[in-house]
Each structure stands twice: as structure tokens, then as C-alpha cells.
């Protein structure tokens, strides 16, 4: 019996990063040389994308965390959280994306022609 894949859906985290804003934050970090700043700008600009999705909600400039682990919007500084902190956040957010069905999936599954 031949199998056909009719639809493939992916889930992405809700936090959206604007590529140009993320580039500017990374390029403005203290201690970055002129070359480093140019390389950061080149990497972000060469990606040919406008937005990114991230599991880290506090990476946006409008986010306010009581104890920021990744980014402090007041100072504009990126932080260096431990591997455990990063993994804990990613595990929590990845689990949500895995468990929550993509938008509209629950209504389509109820229709028999979507199952066969």
C-alpha cells in the first residue's frame, strides 16, 4: 500500500526576534572589536531572513524578567547563563511544542477523511 504525506505541520515558539534588532544587540556588546562587530553584522545580514523564533522569551527588547538570565533590556547586555539554565528552559519549551497540537489540528482529526 502506498502512503502519501498530505500535510506536515511544525510548531514554533511564540517569541519572535526581528533579525535587524537581534543583529544590533549582538553587535553592540562591550568588548567586541570592530572586526567582531562587522562579522556579527555580516552573519545576521547574510542569513536572508527577517525573523527568528526562540524558546527564550526574555530575548526580546520589550520583555521584562525579574532576574534576566539571557538578556537585560535595561542595559542591552547579553548574559551567559549556565548550560543547565539553558537546557532547563529549552526542555520546558520544547515539551510544550511537542504536547500542544498545531493550530486547527484537533478539528481536522475528527473528520474521517483526514485519517485515511
Let me know if residue 95 belongs to a domain.
yes
C-alpha cell at 74: 535595561
Let me know if residue 35 belongs to a domain.
yes
In terms of pLDDT, which residue wins out, 47 or 9? Answer: 47
Cα dihedral 82/49/100/66 (nearest 10): 40
| pTM, full prediction | 0.69
**Looking at the 3D structure of the chain, how many domains does it have?**
1
Let me know if residue 84 belongs to a domain.
yes
The range of the structural domain enclosing residue 89 comes to 15-114
Let me know if residue 83 belongs to a domain.
yes
Residue found under cell 481536522: 108
Let me know if residue 4 belongs to a domain.
no
Q: Mind listing the pLDDT tens digit for each residue in 44-99?
A: 999 999 999 988 888 877 777 788 888 888 888 999 899 999 899 889 988 888 88
31: left (phi over 0), alpha (psi -120 to 50) or beta: left
Interatomic CA distance for residues 89 and 2, integer angstroms: 40
pLDDT at 102: 61
Q: Mind listing the pLDDT tens digit for each residue in 26-37?
A: 999 999 999 999
Let me know if residue 6 belongs to a domain.
no
Amino acid at each position: 500500500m502506498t502512503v502519501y504525506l498530505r500535510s506536515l505541520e511544525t510548531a514554533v515558539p511564540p517569541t519572535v526576534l526581528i533579525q535587524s534588532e537581534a543583529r544590533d544587540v549582538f553587535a553592540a556588546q562591550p568588548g567586541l572589536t570592530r572586526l567582531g562587530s562587522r562579522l556579527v553584522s555580516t552573519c545576521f545580514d547574510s542569513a536572508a531572513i527577517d525573523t527568528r523564533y526562540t524558546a527564550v522569551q526574555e530575548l526580546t527588547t520589550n520583555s521584562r524578567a525579574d532576574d534576566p538570565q539571557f538578556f537585560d533590556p535595561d542595559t542591552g547586555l547579553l548574559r551567559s547563563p549556565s548550560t543547565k539554565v539553558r537546557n532547563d528552559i529549552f526542555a520546558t519549551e520544547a515539551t510544550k511544542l511537542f504536547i500542544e497540537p498545531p493550530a486547527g489540528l484537533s478539528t481536522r482529526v475528527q473528520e474521517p477523511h483526514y485519517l485515511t
